[in-house]
Amino acid sequence: MLDTVVTVLTTGLTNGALYALATIGLSLVWGSMGMFNMAHGAMLALGGYLTFTVCTQLGLPLPVAVIAAVAGGALFGVLLYLVVVQRLLARSTEHFETSVMIATAGISIALEEALLVAFGGQPLKQPFTVSGNLHLGQSVVPLLDLADVVIALIVMGLTYWFLSGTKMGRAIRATAQNRDAAVLMGVPVQRIFLQALAISGALAGICGVLMSSVTQLTPWFGDDPMLKAFIMCVVAGLGNLPGAIAASFCLAIIEAAVEFLAGARWGFPALLFIVIAILIWRPAGLFGRSQIRRL
């Protein structure tokens, strides 16, 4: 019985940590800009492939490859802002939320197809890995899962420190709370948007490395985590970072438990059922604040 509990908890906590990392990248951009970045899944894949390229193909040390994934993700976020988001914002802020969603969906397809052309469609092995297992009585916990959880927690901690303890982070939070008030207080909102997308890209980069270490590298491997990250965001309340992290861990453990108790195919439907129930009960999410929009 104990080994079953350990197995289910290991799955839940590993998935939870990875979902949380994907979720905060998505939630950060939504909270500060009102932008649902449909290319976030493809950015996870970009991070994974950058590590693969730098480590396996260029032969550089793994830490350099991981840094390359973070830097590459941040750079892609910057380019995304400069080439697409900035122009959409300049044209129409009224329809920005819709137009940016469509634009990033297109970018997602283009990026995934570019990865397909560059690397082919056969799954590749992510060089970031940790071999060995931790034996807890009869139970076995893969060290790779533990490493992923620890790294994800460290990255989340750094993100929390950055947002709460630095001037740039406070400016991002101020913009997220009230964009108009932030502008009136002298916060350079355009620059904040750029920074938010760069940070989100960097988070996607490291998340892509960790995620592909327990799955595989294909151009589309980020699509499924992005869908689940979106669910976590909605459950927590779009734009609420601590809530998103808590929701990610809770839902991932529930998903793993449902998969064991009711069958593996019921895990994802259970998540969807929870989302629907929460949206009926609390339309703004568990931790979100309701907004009134005058039409």
Partner 1 sequence: MDNRRGLLKRSAGVGAASIGLLAGINKASAADAGKPIPVGSALPLSGIAAADGVEYRNGLTLAAEEINAAGGILGRPIQLHIEDTGNMGPVLTTQAMQRLIDRYNVPAIINGYNDATNMAEMDTAADADIIFSHYNTLLSANTKFNSNPKKYYGCFQGCPPEYYYGVGLLVYLKTLMDEKRWTPANRKIAIIPSSVEYAIVIANAIRDKAKDFGWEVSLFETVPFPNNQWGPTLAKIRQDTPGVIAVTHPLPQDLAQFALQFTPQPTNSLLYMQYGPSLPAFRQIGGKATTGVIYSTLIGCVPDEFSEQFRHDYTQKFGPNSTYLTGSQTYDALWKWALSAAIAGGPGEPYQKAQAQKIAQVMRQLVYRGTSGTSRVDPDGQSAYCYPTQTPDPSLGMPHQFLQVQDATKTPALIAPDLYAQAKFVTPPWMS
Q: Tell me which residues touch partner 1 (CB under 8 A).
A: 3-4, 7-8, 10-11, 14-15, 113, 116, 120-125, 133, 139-140, 142, 214-216, 218, 220, 224, 256-257, 259-260, 263-265, 267-268
- Tokens for 49, please give them: 């492939």
Shortest spacing between CB 243 and partner 1, in angstroms: 24
3-state secondary structure of 125: coil
Residue closer to partner 1 by CB (options 152, 259) is: 259
205 φ/ψ sector (left φ>0, alpha ψ -120 to 50, else beta): alpha
Residue closer to partner 1 by CB (options 82, 264) is: 264
Shortest spacing between CB 275 and partner 1, in angstroms: 17
Shortest spacing between CB 149 and partner 1, in angstroms: 13
Residue closer to partner 1 by CB (options 99, 215) is: 215
Q: How far is CA 203 from the centre of its chain?
A: 7
Assess contact for 39 and 104: CB atoms under 8 A.
yes
Largest CA distance in the chain: 62
Distance CA 70, CA 73 (A): 5
- Tokens for 108, please give them: 């997602």
Residue closer to partner 1 by CB (options 162, 220) is: 220
The Cα-based distances of 22 to 58, 76, 197, 210, 281 in angstroms read 27, 16, 13, 10, 25
Shortest spacing between CB 127 and partner 1, in angstroms: 11
203 φ/ψ sector (left φ>0, alpha ψ -120 to 50, else beta): alpha
Going by C-alpha positions, the residue among 112, 128, 144, 150 that lies closest to residue 67 is: 128
Residue closer to partner 1 by CB (options 60, 124) is: 124
Shortest spacing between CB 103 and partner 1, in angstroms: 20
Residue closer to partner 1 by CB (options 86, 139) is: 139
Shortest spacing between CB 146 and partner 1, in angstroms: 13
